Amino acid sequence: MKLVPEWRRVVSRSLSFWLIVAAILVMAVPELWYGWTDQDYNPYVEWWAGILLLVAVLGGRLIKQDRPLWQEWLRIAAFALVALVLALLLGTEVRAAPATEAQTLRVALPLISSEEGERLVAYIPIAGDRPTICFGETNGVTMGMRRSHAQCLDMLRRRVVLDRVGLHRYYTPATIARRLPPTRDAAYLSTAYNCGVVTIGRSTATRRLNAGDVAGGCAALTWFDRAGNRVIRGLFARRKREEKLCLQGI
- DSSP conformational letter for 172: -
pLDDT per residue, tens digit, the chain (250 aa), is 677 777 777 777 777 787 888 888 877 877 776 667 655 556 667 777 777 877 877 777 777 777 787 777 787 788 777 777 776 666 655 555 678 999 999 999 999 999 999 999 999 987 667 899 999 999 899 999 999 999 999 999 999 999 999 999 999 998 998 899 999 999 999 999 999 999 999 999 999 999 999 999 999 999 999 987 889 999 999 999 999 999 998 7
Residue spans of the domains in the chain: they are 7-91, 101-246
Tell me the helix, strand and coil percentages in the chain, rounded to 5.
Answer: 65, 5, 30
Q: Model confidence over 196-215: pLDDT tens digits?
A: 999 999 999 999 999 999 99
Determine which helix (DSSP H) or strand (DSSP E) holds 16, and give its type and residue range. helix 15-37
Q: What percent of the chain has pLDDT over 90?
A: 52
How far is it, in rounded angstroms, from Cα 246 to Cα 75?
44
Which fold, 101-246?
Lysozyme (1.10.530)
156-209 pLDDT, tens digit each: 999 999 999 999 999 999 899 889 999 999 999 999 999 999 999 999 999 999
